[in-house]
Structure 1
Amino acid sequence: MEGKVESLWEEVRELTLGTTVDRLQSPPTPLQFLRDFVSQNKPCIISNAIPHWPALSLWSTPSYLSTALSSSLVSLHLTPDGQADALVPHPSQSSLCFVSAHVQPTLFPQALDLIRRPPNHLVAYLQQQNDCFRTEYSELESDCDAHIPWASEALGCLPEAVNLWIGNHLSQTSFHKDHYENLYAVVSGEKHFLLLPPTDVHRMYIKEYPAARYSYSQENGEFRLEFEEPERYVPWSSVDPCPARASLKQESLKFPLYFNGPKPFEVTVKAGEVLYLPSMWFHHVRQSPGDGGCTIAVNYWYDMQFDIKYAYFNFLQSLPCRSIDDQTIPEGDCEDDSGPHASSNHLNSRFSGDESATNNVEIHKDRDNVQVHERTFVLDSSMFV
């Protein structure tokens, strides 16, 4: 089984994805976008996509934003290290937990100042999502398009949500996927993406982690972890694609499917460019600030089609793969000087074993709304012999 899955990673790149993300010098026609990218579930970067947006010239000036949103109360996300919606060490166990940011209602000028001039041990990020651009930042709506016209025509709908992101170089987003067709427009600074297609799901080492949230005390400036009650578990990728150099070898042994497999697609999206990020693509995001001291982006979430590709993905995800807890690193491997890319035995062993806890997705349709719920079940590998 492992050889067939590894062949899939290579074949999808040979047949359709190539080795780099396509870059268009101007917006595509709706037909071209639908035919060449959406139907193929293939990302692309569109240059000169939003030259008419007033935001491109206005938002790089902090005083403009602070004046326009002077009385706006916004949802500011706070973490000690810029890692929100990420895995951190469990405070009382030798394991990890999934942690979300502390969310604090803050007047926008104060929030922007915290982002541009971060104090010690506190990283602020405006990343509320949930259609926040059209709710919390409605005063800025005239500075950019309400939707991406050629994308809306190709997809046959308007965006379900439009979000604003304002952060600094300290914030990053761990590997995850979304059930949306994502048009991601950078207004100031740069966004740096690592991308993997849905076919590479086993390389993400998705596991369920207990959910927690940071709680921040303004009195002493300290964070503490609070676990959700009732207890909830979140399926999340276990892979850190950018480990410290000292721990790279150990991480490569823990996650050989990721580090030994095909390289992720690396793209930098600059101000004025739009990234089309297809539904269910795994992405890790870092950022570099622009002249105003922060990185600003607007993204448009269009609802995906839960079609045959989605069914194929669920089947692929259900194929047995030994869980991370079952993995052991043989003695001597940590002292092996041949390097992480020599550990092919570890890569192959990831698909052995009798059973695997994997994540599947149930779709419940309520009239025009699609709700996606995660559930976990155990698969016997004999089902796929």
Structure 2
Amino acid sequence: MPALNETNGIRDASGAKMRLEEEICSLISEVQDFNLSTIERIELPSPLDFHRYVASNRPVIITLPPTATTTPRADLPASEREWSWPAFTKWTNEYLSSTLGEKHITVACTPNGWADAVVDDKYFAMPCEKKMTFDQFLDGMPIRMRRPDQKEEVNQDQEGKDTVVDPYQEVRYIQLQNGNLMTEYKELMDDVPASIPFASEALGKEPDAVNFWYGDERSTTSLHKDHYENLYSVIAGRKIFTLIPPTEQFCLHEKQYIAATYVDTTDTPSPSPSSQTETPSPRYKLEPMDPLTHTKWIGLNPAHEPREDLYEKYPRFQWCQPFRVELNPGELLYLPAMWYHQVEQEPDHEGKCIAVNWWYDMGFEGERFATAAFMSNLVQLVDQIDVSS
């Protein structure tokens, strides 16, 4: 048995940790009680109206005029013309192929569609980034997304349903950020605005970056946060967001993982299997960074794991109240800086999901950033309190 003073130390540490956790949970509960339990949908706001959402640190979905996604700009009244972006009607696979087909772009490749995500509760897995032409990118997508001149290859599963054959054994996603629309995809810049007027006026600045995203339903963005005020628009398909406010960081069990990158083993082919019953090696493997590096990330998956399993693996998640919202073409999501978000995709009739987002640098004045940093330090302190020795 521990000596008396050791026992008292354990009891004191346990009590301090429990008290801190109670106070954090009380704060989470109060914030939840004083705020709406849903994400509002509103029509185009004035800069002042939009700033109210920024000031209260609340997401909102903004609906563009109904004609924005269907009517050519020249046919609209001036009040609606600026919201009728050519991208809504022009960005088909045929148009993108004719505009970008032979241009080399950066594509994130993974075996499962999860890039920048936790794997095996051990690794923070980053994608294999490849350079290829846009047409080569399309060639590696599921059959329904490929160019018209390609032949289909279809099998049937055990239930007799048609399934697409994927000879590439990888999931491709255009997700390069830091303003890729202004660099790799500058040919498309005239099809969307360079900024969102009411946001630029309300925030007093122009966006730092405008990003182009293209993928299918296999790609999922794991739960994370960004230090940007984010205006996010779906051009084709649908995006499903799981949103969690920064005050609920305590619930997410962030920790350090070994940083690793997916490596394509077909660059150095292994010998063929010796028999038909032998399973070939997976195309991708994870290689830890050299020197060994750790990245703080979130391992839980609120969009896919049953809540009972989440509570068992991540007991503090029971205090969390995530928001789940669907974003369709003709809608803008305002995602405040430092809100946690996980993003899923649903394709359109061509099998594609395309989005554009505008990143405005967050303001560090006021108490918002300092409060979030304080919460992060407090959670770290709770996790460091050792009650076992």
Identify the range of structure 1 (267-276 vs 107-116) with the bigger mean alpha-carbon deviation. Answer: 107-116
User: Over residues 7-52 of structure 1, what are the superposed CA-to-partner deviations in whole Å (9 max), with x where a residue is unaligned?
Assistant: 222221222x31100101x221111111x21111110001116541
Equivalent residue, structure 1, for 2:215: 167
* 1:194 alignment partner, one of 227, 230, 242: 242
User: Over residues 305-337 of structure 1, what are the superposed CA-to-partner deviations in whole Å (9 max), with x where a residue is unaligned?
Assistant: 113211111111111468xxxxxxxxxxxxxxx
* 1:291 alignment partner, one of 334, 337, 349: 349
Equivalent residue, structure 2, for 1:40: 56
Q: For 1:22 and 1:113, how far apart are their aligned partners in 2? A: 39
Report whether the alignment pairs 1:58 with 2:90. yes
Residue identity opposite 2:333 in structure 1: L
The Cα of 1:249 is off from its aligned counterpart by 3.9
Structure 1: 5+ residue stretches without partners: 90-94, 323-350, 357-385
Q: Report SS of the residue matched to 2:45.
A: coil
Equivalent residue, structure 2, for 1:114: 140
* 1:80 alignment partner, one of 111, 116, 121: 111
Q: Which has the larger radius of gyration?
A: 2
Equivalent residue, structure 2, for 1:124: 172
Report whether the alignment pairs 1:314 with 2:346. no
Residue identity opposite 1:318 in structure 2: N
The Cα of 1:261 is off from its aligned counterpart by 1.9
Report whether the alignment pairs 1:265 with 2:282. no
Q: For 1:199 and 1:107, how far apart are their aligned partners in 2? A: 42
Equivalent residue, structure 2, for 1:239: 300
Q: Report SS of the residue matched to 2:141.
A: helix
User: Over residues 339-367 of structure 1, what are the superposed CA-to-partner deviations in whole Å (9 max), with x where a residue is unaligned?
Assistant: xxxxxxxxxxxx687259xxxxxxxxxxx
Q: For 2:172 and 2:384, how far apart are their aligned partners in 1? A: 43
Structure 2: 5+ residue stretches without partners: 1-19, 69-82, 144-164, 270-281
C-alpha change, 1:355 and 1:153, in structure 2 (3 Å) is farther
Following TM superposition, where does structure 1 have runs of at least 4 consecutive aligned residues deviating by more than 3 angstroms?
217-221, 242-245, 248-251
Q: For 2:95 and 2:379, how far apart are their aligned partners in 1? A: 53
C-alpha change, 1:152 and 1:190, in structure 2 (3 Å) is same
Q: Report SS of the residue matched to 1:184.
A: strand
Q: Report SS of the residue matched to 1:21.
A: coil
Task: Note if contact 2:239-2:346 (Cα within 8 Å) is conserved in structure 1.
Answer: yes
Task: Note if contact 2:222-2:342 (Cα within 8 Å) is conserved in structure 1.
Answer: yes
Residue identity opposite 2:166 in structure 1: P
Q: Report SS of the residue matched to 1:212.
A: strand
User: Over residues 102-134 of structure 1, what are the superposed CA-to-partner deviations in whole Å (9 max), with x where a residue is unaligned?
Assistant: 010010012123234382631110001121111
The Cα of 1:84 is off from its aligned counterpart by 0.3
The Cα of 1:289 is off from its aligned counterpart by 0.5
Equivalent residue, structure 1, for 2:126: 100
Q: For 1:173 and 1:109, how far apart are their aligned partners in 2? A: 24
C-alpha change, 1:11 and 1:295, in structure 2 (3 Å) is same
C-alpha change, 1:320 and 1:279, in structure 2 (3 Å) is closer
Identify the range of structure 1 (117-126 vs 165-174) with the bigger mean alpha-carbon deviation. Answer: 117-126
Q: Report SS of the residue matched to 2:130.
A: strand
Equivalent residue, structure 2, for 1:228: 289
Task: Note if contact 1:115-1:294 (Cα within 8 Å) is conserved in structure 2.
Answer: no
Residue identity opposite 2:104 in structure 1: L
Alignment of 1:130-145 (within 5 A): 130-145=178-193
Identify the range of structure 1 (130-139 vs 307-316) with the bigger mean alpha-carbon deviation. Answer: 307-316
Task: Note if contact 2:101-2:133 (Cα within 8 Å) is conserved in structure 1.
Answer: yes
The TM-score normalised by the length of structure 1 is 0.78
